[in-house]
Structure 1
């Protein structure tokens, strides 16, 4: 309680800035160790911050992890907006979307691994559920923007709704991520091919 009262005396912008710095540092450890193996002390040991500082800004591991994942996903939910804005043909959009999916797996595999870990943990950890459901919704909306643009460029309606589209593409993405993490040959090439095959199937067949 004393720490909480002291924290409130820190100017809000400085307080939030330090929490963001801690989140950026913690994400590296969380991405490597996962939810179950990470503790506030372990996160502190792998960062420039002491355990006392981490605990000063976050009451427990759950609060820190929720903040970290919200922070990370807030940065990435606009990842495909350039694909939507810059594509002028259906084929161009498919190629750009597939390339961006592969790029994010290569560049940010630990963060994606952490996300899927937390989404699974939320089935058992009630404290995670609200944040996970909120983030899942924003990701669904992100994917729907891509598919809606593809539909408009193709001049055909989408066969199903955003939740089904997200579920399908998320499953393909997760499988490719696992293949990449386990060094399965061709995992990323398969992802490109599957996206090129699946997107046309999401649209009503032309007459």
Structure 2
């Protein structure tokens, strides 16, 4: 008979996920600066001491919430990258996916920028920002490479040029949505496609040399 009882490790992981989801909900509504551990505990319907048992402080909770959201986002890119179609077709699928996510749930991305801003003042948050940036670069690399792997210099270009461009678009469309300005989903998608097309054109130029 299968043992339906959860192990301590499974229970610990489940409880951290539950608290992370509650933290994500409150952080998205109020931001890091205005969120208290007591509010997160109330959202999770858990004693405040439970938060302190599973997380050292609010910063660790924010990192956990950020990682959970980033993991889903990056896995979405990788699923498309591993799927059928040419590289340009996959890039367009990714652009369409990003536009859809921003249109349906733009506020879910506020935590990215909140964490990045907070990391300017809290050194303990900087490693996770670098870590997730590395995952984003790796996912974009998987998306745009065909057959042969990309060289180190091209990967640096993705990190230092194209990733900031895409991040800037996310920030701009997120800001417009939150401020109540009308945002055309097709405009969002075209903007992402244009940046990815620039990257593909650069890669074509490199491969032709």
Q: Which residue of structure 2 aligns with residue 161 of structure 1?
A: 157
- For 1:159 and 1:70, the matched residues in 2 are separated by 22
Q: 5 Å matches for 1:102-117?
A: 102-117=99-114
Kindly indicate whether the alpha-carbon contact (under 8 Å) linking 2:141 and 2:155 is maintained by their aligned counterparts in 1: no
Which residue in the other structure is 2:94 paired with?
Answer: 97
Structural mapping, 1:162-177, within 5 Å:
162-163=158-159, 164-177=161-174
Pairing partner for 2:183 from 177, 183, 186: 186
* Residue number among 75, 98, 122 corresponding to 1:78 in the alignment: 75
Q: Contact 1:84/1:145 (CA < 8 Å) preserved in 2?
A: yes
How many residues end up aligned between the 2 structures?
A: 192
TM (normalized to structure 1)? 0.80
Determine which of 36, 42, 46 is the counterpart of 1:49.
46
Deviation sequence 1:12-49 (CA, Å, 0-9, x none): 33222211111112111111111101111111122322
Give 1:121 deviation, angstroms: 0.9
Q: 1:13 aligns with which of 10, 14, 25?
A: 10
Q: 1:173 to 1:145 in 2, by over 3 A?
A: farther
CA distance in 1, matches of 2:155, 2:28: 36
Matched-pair contact (CA < 8 Å) for 1:144–1:165: no
- Shift in Å, 1:91: 4.6
Q: Which runs of 5+ in 2 are unaligned?
A: 1-6, 149-153
Partner Cα distance (1:129, 1:19) in 2: 22
The 3 A distance-change label for structure 1 pair 119 and 187 is farther
Do the aligned partners of 1:141 and 1:162 also contact (CA within 8 Å) in 2? no
Alignment gaps of 5+ in structure 1? 1-9, 153-157
- The answer as to 2:57 corresponding to 1:60 is yes
> Are the aligned partners of 1:180 and 1:188 in contact in 2 as well (CA < 8 Å)?
no
Moved more, 114-123 or 67-76: 67-76
SS, match of residue 76 in structure 2: coil
Please give the per-residue CA displacement for 1:65-94, whole angstroms capped at 9, x wherever unaligned. 222222332233211123223342355223
Q: 2 CA distance for matches of 1:143 and 1:90? A: 11
Q: How does 1:141-160 map to 2 (within 5 A)?
A: 141-149=138-146
* 1:127 corresponds to 2:124: yes
Name the SS of the counterpart of 2:85 in structure 1.
coil
Structure 2 counterpart SS, 1:124: coil
